[in-house]
Structure 1
Amino acid sequence: MAASCSLVCCGEERDSDKAVLVRFSNGTPRNADRLDFTLYKNVDEVNPRKKSKRILVSETDRLSYVGNNFGAGSLKCNSLCKYYVGVLNKQTMQMEMHNAQLFNMQPVIPGEMEESEKPQDIKTYRDKVDSLIEAFGTNKQKRALTSRRLNQVAGDTLQHAVAKAANTVIDQKGLEALQQEVDETELQGDLASHLPPCNANADKRENVYPFDDLLSPVDYDALEQAGSKMAALTPEELQKMRDDGGCLCVVRHLENLPTTGEEREKMARCAFYLSMLLKLSRQKSINRKFGLEEGCPRNVQNKLLRTFTVETFNNGRVQNTVSTSMRAKIAAHCLALLLHMGHMTADLTLLHRDLGITEARVIEIAKSMGLTLIKPPRAKADEALLREEHRQATLALPLVKYDQFTERRKRKKMH
């Protein structure tokens, strides 16, 4: 009766413990038991594409053989199939199953590898045609070929000069300054898209820029607690805000709050929302804790980040930033909100100081919104020194349409 054996699975094995099966491409060696094999593995074990690369080397008296499990000379069956080798223990009659890997051993002839490693010149169809023109073309075809090659060299030279000039400008001005100039240029023609919703055909001034489009009823109700804190500020605290460089627009409206009633509550809530807008405009990158220390509700914070910031990627993380166009959008919404808070009149001088932009930019935004600019009255010499002139804008029906000034350069006469 034949002896029976049992199979034993060795479980998960590392790549170094796998059995190696080899085959020689040019035949079978006579003395296979005398061959010495050396297995090399890739030193980069962190890279998943390199850690499994193996090279098997064998040497005989006449030839050297090399096989690998990657590249063009590797066997494709290693990735399509899985091989096992059984090793029988005759004492216990148990057969252990091991993972195996196949290598195709190819002979290495000295001097042949160096020639094969040299990169071959791969010619395109155009290069082949040019070679035929050089050898058998007519004089006209050869002149056209020479002209085309000269133009190609000139184009490459021009491209290299442009790239060098661009790098010089970037090194002198800085990439951030150039990006800011591009944003300002795009802002000149795209300012209308950042204005708040406008109803130019409204019969009342309050309906031209509706209050609900600036601050929705849901957000207005959420600002009840924050507005109460703003209304409870004492004159000393307001003076401290002014001295610390706080928002001058907010301080002025808080100083002139109505005594009682719904109007006082509305002004206080609008003042808090205005302070959040002004704080947002003075920052570049915004984190998720913006406004929470001041008591800003979560839904109002989400609205500010969603409406007035741009999502960018920095080191694999999403970050909210305030671009130049978003600052213009914030300025337009602040101006519309100030109109509702100031009986359709806003102080442009205080607004441009709080926003940190030039007064010319605020005036440009006011003109794009169709507001009427109010010139400060002329004062005497003594009064001008004591009183500061403030530019103001008011909303009047119908809205004013300003002509855009376009600079025209004079053409030079050719003599």
Structure 2
Amino acid sequence: MKTIADADWLKAAETRAVMDALDASWAGGSRFVGGCVRNTLMGRPVDDIDIATQLEPSEVLEALETARIRAIPTGIDHGTVTAVVNSKPFEITTLRRDVETDGRRAVVAFTQDWAEDAGRRDFRLNAIYADATGALYDPTGGGIEDASTGAVIFIGDGDERLKEDYLRILRFFRFNAWYGAGIDEQGLAACERQKDGLKQIAVERIWKEFHKLLAAPDPSIAVEAMLKSGVLAIIAPEATMVEGLYDLRVTEALVRAKPDPMLRLMSLIPCSAAAVMAVSKRLRMSNAETERISRWAADNLPDPTAFNGRELRKALYWHGAQAVADRAMLSGKDVRDLIHAILAWKRPEFSVGGDDALAVGLTGPAVGQALRTLEEWWIEQDFQPDRDELLARLAELD
């Protein structure tokens, strides 16, 4: 029997404490499931630990209380309790079966059947269980193999899994971006057939999933599959420039940049105010996200790869380092030296203000006009004039 007994997280004192508490109520009635098991088999880092249990939520709470482990009823109506040991959370969920689904949410009932619990999950590699010793259980019969080969395959009938929760369409592509070694054609066909179901899903949930997908080390193949299947047209019809994403991946490698979901989204859409506003509105981006993408698409931001040192500093002052860096990263050129210069730049401080203008006798609208004129002159002088020079110049504008 395959095992993950050597996993560090499995042997950790916090993990042992939680499992011992649960086993004290029902020996062998609790198993690890999902990402912690999958990632261990795939040699990936484990961030979160989920536990499936035959205990009902009230019994879980009682078991944790007896062991003096902090318990939080985070989703108790759906069977989930969070145990916290030394600030480390463990999400514990009672085995469930679906009673009713509508593509957005499910009504569930508790069960003690591991196969029923596995059958309501999305992909076979997410339905692998491990007991306290690390021994593995694979109710679907394909999860362990899928984890070893990087196959993202729906449990049972793909269309049925998607009709239960249409957000699984995006999860299919996200898991392929992060874990897949080749997209399952049957699963892809099911996503194409069911893609209109995404219109029922809250936009915030769609953007969250898409954002996670774009954060993968290389989401290119998954995004291209989304485009060809028509899924991308449902959630972001402006995002058609997959070749831009491939170009960005080359640039990311050159400058050793970390994955940036926002930059990757920009690579997929036209650099225009109309496209930016449409995508921002459709995905209900945050104010910060909208501001960043809008600055990148500004009409008055020229190609930074054509700048010399002085012009680059001028653009950085007016547009900000983020916008200039975004435009550079998406230029399709070797921008290693340019990115280095952008990262090294520190915005100079314009050291003259309204009180200085009033002190030289300016009043009303003349104050703002004089300060703008002075700042523009200072910038044209490559930020070299100091405060004394600025004040002398300001006096001449009186």
Q: TM-score, normalised by structure 1?
A: 0.20
> Higher relative contact order by CA 8 Å / sep ≥ 6: 1 or 2?
1
Higher strand share goes to which structure?
Answer: 1
Higher helix share goes to which structure?
Answer: 2
**Structure whose CA Rg is larger:** 1
